[in-house]
């Protein structure tokens, strides 16, 4: 493996990684040498995911904590760092709720903000303190094609992903001087549990295939290359950027 992309000896925390994009990214980082820490709120799902990775000979830890609870985040990160530094953070935890904007429940707006934005701030800040003290670190925030585009029924989600993109810029501006590199990865439409209802909808899939220059849904494994790049020495002078992995959706009208 090229030393530019070799993550051997690195320890990576991936939030929301018991399934979907988070699990795929954790696997990809582990396959490039990192020891990954899977995070989620359900112990049984975490252990099942960890078992799958361990059966493939990959180094895995688990850490069950609620990323929307700042006290729980601080305690969990402190505990994890007792066992060694967190060199890479992938802020992946997120959720979706779809309904017309005029009918959007206030409580779901708050839940979206806590899960998609507050968690990124809480975990990012807690992990960055150790990285700043060591003078090095990589943070990859998971944004979305919706950081750039809107679609009916998901305006609040679009709001959160725009916030992720700008918070990434802010983290980079504040922390680059301390040796941290903070970037965002923005997936387009991928086959995940979060999108299963859309995958199963023939009319939506037909629209998506026509709207996306690549002509198809993405597979979560196709996000790994960009995540490894942003986590590695290959991206040593890349910070504050958002990389869209979207089959060309944001380049075409």
**pLDDT tens for each residue of 158-168:** 999 999 999 99
Predicted pLDDT at 247: 98
Average pLDDT of the chain, as a whole number: 97
Residue appearing with tokens 């909808």: 201
pLDDT reading at 5 higher than 90:
yes
Quick one: tokens of 221?
């494994």
pLDDT reading at 46 higher than 90:
yes
Cα 77 from Cα 55, distance rounded (Å): 26
Domains of the chain from N-terminus onward = 11-244 (3.40.50.720)
Q: For the packed helices 155-175 and 119-134, what is the interaxial angle rounded to 10 degrees?
A: 10
pLDDT, average across residues 96-103: 94
As annotated, the active-site residues are 157
Phi, psi of 185 (to 5 degrees): -115, 125
DSSP state of 5: T
Predicted pLDDT at 253: 87
Cα 208 from Cα 191, distance rounded (Å): 12
Is the pTM higher than 0.75? The answer reads yes
Task: Print the SS3 string covering 236-251.
Answer: CCCCCCEEEECCCHHH
pLDDT reading at 154 higher than 80:
yes
pLDDT reading at 130 higher than 90:
yes
Cα 167 from Cα 188, distance rounded (Å): 19
């Amino acid at each position: 493996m090229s030393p530019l992309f070799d993550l051997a000896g690195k320890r990576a925390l991936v939030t929301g990684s018991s399934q979907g994009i988070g699990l795929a990214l954790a696997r990809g980082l582990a396959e490039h040498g990192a020891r990954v820490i899977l995070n989620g709120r359900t112990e049984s799902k975490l252990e099942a995911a960890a078992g799958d990775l361990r059966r493939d000979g990959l180094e895995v830890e688990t850490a069950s904590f609620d990323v929307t609870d700042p006290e729980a985040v601080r305690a969990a990160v402190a505990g994890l760092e007792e066992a060694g530094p967190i060199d890479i953070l992938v802020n992946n935890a997120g959720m979706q709720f779809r309904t017309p904007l005029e009918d959007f429940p206030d409580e779901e707006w708050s839940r979206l903000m806590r899960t998609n934005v507050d968690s990124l701030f809480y975990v990012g800040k807690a992990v960055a303190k150790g990285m700043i003290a060591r003078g090095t670190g990589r943070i990859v925030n998971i944004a979305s094609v919706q950081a750039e585009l809107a679609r009916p029924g998901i305006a609040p989600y679009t709001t959160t992903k725009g916030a992720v993109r700008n918070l990434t810029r802010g983290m980079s501006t504040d922390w680059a001087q301390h040796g941290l590199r903070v970037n965002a990865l923005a997936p387009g439409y991928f086959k995940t549990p979060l999108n299963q209802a859309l995958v199963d909808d023939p009319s939506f899939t037909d629209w998506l295939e026509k709207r996306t220059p690549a002509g198809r849904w993405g597979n979560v494994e196709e996000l790994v290359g960009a995540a490894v790049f942003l986590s590695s020495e290959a991206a040593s002078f890349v910070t504050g950027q958002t990389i869209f992995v979207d089959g060309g959706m944001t380049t075409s009208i």
